[in-house]
């Protein structure tokens, strides 16, 4: 007769968990045990490279031999991750004798505990058991994960990220997250960035943020379009900083959504300092930066074995001879590697002329990638000597990234 399993959340912090086996199954099981703070003892003659790295880093104890009963001394749980069912049965027999729950990869019916399919959403952990069918458990888990990401935040299950830890009864303290939205394709936001976006009360978005991400916000979310703030760039930045601080001090969870990565020419640092000065807690969620993603989307790796051992990301928003420029274009001309120029279309003629004047060959391959990773992406391939003229002729426009270096042709068959 089979009866229903009894679900539990094991609090393993500092508690001994023995894992027997060092192959693929153990490789998948160990990270969650470490994440739970378990004191992991791994018993296996051989380890996969990933497990070996955990052992070398001192995150677990490895005994490089076969299992002996004494390995279970002091254990709260044992995971048997070996294919050999005789060996697995002997471990679970010792575990049963000592009343230690035993998970078995080789034979679920012989196990005294099952591992569920899990999804985590901030402080919420959902664990699904599929009645002995792991695939069914995973299908249900995936459906719940999607639901949590999109639907449950409005009703406050996830609520604000610190909802579970805030002071009882009172209004939650506000906070800000600086979130990188990625280069343009809405699917290129990170999982964490997306989760925080679904939890936001206020979203302050940049011009280059993928519109589809905003389309999916809850109707009650206040959306501030930072690109519509009047005044010049510096006054507008002050205004944005003020909005972040004011809304957070009023108790809101504010997501500042920025194109690419918040710290790559994104003024994220200034926003962080403004929040810190007002004692508003800030989380920074890195994003996929256009400086790497735009070349990649055009089939250009920023480094390539035997071709480029470095890449430099540089802003071209000031002309090389502008007094305020902080860029040593003469030094960049002497590098062999890849140069990725952001915000450089307007000054491209002056930039390429300066690079050539300081020694970079005019034959160096160059490319321009406009609106990368979006449905309107355009790619122009040229050379350092010609790219500025070709760009005008092709009527390319911002946002675009210019790539200079032999990597431009590296993947061409």
Ligand X SMILES: C[S@@+](CC[C@H](N)C(=O)[O-])C[C@H]1O[C@@H](n2cnc3c(N)ncnc32)[C@H](O)[C@@H]1O
- Return the SS3 of 192: helix
Interaction of residue 401 with ligand X, rule CB under 6 A: yes
Looking at the DSSP bridge assignments, the partners of residue 178 are: 256, 284
Q: Which stretch binds ligand X (CB under 6 A): 30-38, 99-107, 215-223, 287-295?
A: 287-295
Q: How far is the CB of 311 from ligand X (least distance, A)?
A: 14
| Contact indicator for 368, 408 with CB cutoff of 8 Å | no
Kindly tell me which residue out of 196, 213, 264, 367 binds ligand X, with binding defined by CB under 6 A. Answer: 264
Kindly tell me which residue out of 343, 353, 356, 394 binds ligand X, with binding defined by CB under 6 A. Answer: 343
Interaction of residue 285 with ligand X, rule CB under 6 A: no
Kindly tell me which residue out of 22, 260, 295, 365 binds ligand X, with binding defined by CB under 6 A. Answer: 260
Measured CA angle at 366 (ends 361, 367), to 5 deg: 170
Interaction of residue 348 with ligand X, rule CB under 6 A: no
Element (H, E) at 32: helix 24-35
Q: Which stretch binds ligand X (CB under 6 A): 77-85, 144-152, 190-198, 370-378?
A: 370-378
Among 71, 201, 206, 261, the active-site one is: 206
Q: Which stretch binds ligand X (CB under 6 A): 33-41, 78-86, 217-225, 394-402?
A: 394-402
What's the DSSP call for residue 412? -
C-beta neighbour count of 323 within 10 angstroms: 6
Query: What is the C-alpha to C-alpha distance for residues 358 and 329, in angstroms, rounded to an integer?
Result: 8
Q: Which stretch binds ligand X (CB under 6 A): 95-103, 164-172, 219-227, 258-266?
A: 258-266
Decide the pairing of beta strands 222-225 and 202-205.
Answer: parallel
Cβ neighbourhood burial of 335 (10 Å; 0-12, 13-18, 19+)? middle
Interaction of residue 290 with ligand X, rule CB under 6 A: yes
Q: How far is the CB of 107 from ligand X (least distance, A)?
A: 50
Cβ neighbourhood burial of 244 (10 Å; 0-12, 13-18, 19+)? buried
Q: How far is the CB of 325 from ligand X (least distance, A)?
A: 16
Kindly tell me which residue out of 208, 248, 384, 407 binds ligand X, with binding defined by CB under 6 A. Answer: 208
Which 372-391 positions form the footprint of ligand X (CB under 6 A)? 372-373
Q: Is 206 a catalytic residue?
A: yes
Interaction of residue 289 with ligand X, rule CB under 6 A: yes
Q: How far is the CB of 361 from ligand X (least distance, A)?
A: 24
| Contact indicator for 217, 149 with CB cutoff of 8 Å | no
Binding mask 162-191 for ligand X (x = CB under 6 A): ---------------------xx-------
Query: What is the C-alpha to C-alpha distance for residues 115 and 119, in angstroms, rounded to an integer?
Result: 13
Interaction of residue 261 with ligand X, rule CB under 6 A: yes
Q: How far is the CB of 294 from ligand X (least distance, A)?
A: 4
Among 155, 215, 220, 228, the active-site one is: 228
Interaction of residue 294 with ligand X, rule CB under 6 A: yes
Q: How far is the CB of 358 from ligand X (least distance, A)?
A: 22
Q: Is 155 a catalytic residue?
A: no
Query: What is the C-alpha to C-alpha distance for residues 129 and 176, in angstroms, rounded to an integer?
Result: 36
What are the CA-CA distances from residue 14 to residues 18, 34, 40, 293 (Å)?
13, 10, 9, 41
Cβ neighbourhood burial of 339 (10 Å; 0-12, 13-18, 19+)? buried
Distance of CA 387 to the CA centre of its chain: 34
**Contact footprint for ligand X (CB under 6 A):** 183-184, 208, 259-261, 264-266, 289-291, 294, 342-343, 369, 371-373, 398-401
Q: Which residues are catalytic?
A: 206, 228
């Amino acid at each position: 007769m089979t009866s229903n399993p009894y679900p539990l959340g094991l609090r393993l912090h500092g508690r001994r968990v023995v894992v027997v086996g060092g192959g693929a199954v153990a490789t998948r099981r160990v990270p969650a045990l470490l994440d739970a703070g378990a004191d992991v003892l791994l018993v296996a003659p051989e380890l996969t490279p990933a497990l070996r790295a955990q052992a070398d880093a001192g995150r677990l104890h490895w005994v490089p031999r076969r299992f002996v009963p004494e390995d279970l001394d002091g254990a709260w749980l044992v995971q048997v991750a070996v294919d050999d069912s005789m060996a697995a049965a002997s471990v679970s027999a010792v575990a049963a004798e000592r009343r230690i729950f035993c998970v078995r990869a080789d034979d679920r019916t012989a196990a005294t505990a099952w591992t569920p399919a899990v999804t985590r959403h901030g402080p919420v952990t959902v664990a699904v058991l599929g009645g002995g069918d792991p695939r069914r458990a995973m299908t249900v888990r995936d459906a719940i994960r999607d639901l949590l990401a999109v639907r449950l935040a409005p009703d406050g299950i996830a609520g604000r990220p610190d909802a579970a830890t805030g002071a009882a009864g009172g209004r939650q303290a506000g906070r800000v997250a600086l979130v990188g939205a990625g280069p343009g394709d809405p699917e290129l936001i990170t999982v964490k960035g997306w989760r925080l976006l679904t939890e936001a009360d206020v979203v302050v978005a940049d011009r280059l943020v993928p519109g589809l991400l905003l389309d999916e916000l809850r109707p009650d979310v206040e959306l501030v379009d930072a690109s519509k703030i009047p005044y010049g760039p510096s006054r507008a930045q002050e205004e944005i900083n003020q909005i972040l601080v004011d809304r957070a001090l009023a108790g809101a969870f504010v997501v500042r959504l920025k194109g690419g990565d918040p710290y790559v020419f994104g003024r994220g640092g200034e926003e962080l300092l403004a929040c810190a000065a007002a004692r508003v807690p800030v989380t920074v969620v890195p994003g996929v930066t256009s400086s790497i993603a735009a070349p990649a989307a055009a089939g250009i790796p920023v480094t390539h074995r035997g071709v480029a051992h470095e890449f430099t990301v540089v802003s071209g928003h000031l002309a090389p001879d502008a007094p305020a420029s902080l860029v040593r274009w003469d030094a960049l001309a002497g590098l062999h590697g890849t140069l990725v120029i952001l915000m450089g279309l307007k000054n491209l003629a002056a930039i390429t002329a300066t690079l050539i004047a300081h020694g970079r060959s005019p034959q160096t391959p160059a490319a321009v990638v406009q609106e990368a990773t979006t449905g309107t992406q355009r790619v122009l391939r040229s050379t350092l000597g010609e790219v500025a003229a070709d760009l005008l002729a092709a009527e390319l426009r911002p946002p675009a990234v210019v790539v200079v270096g032999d990597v431009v042709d590296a993947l061409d068959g």
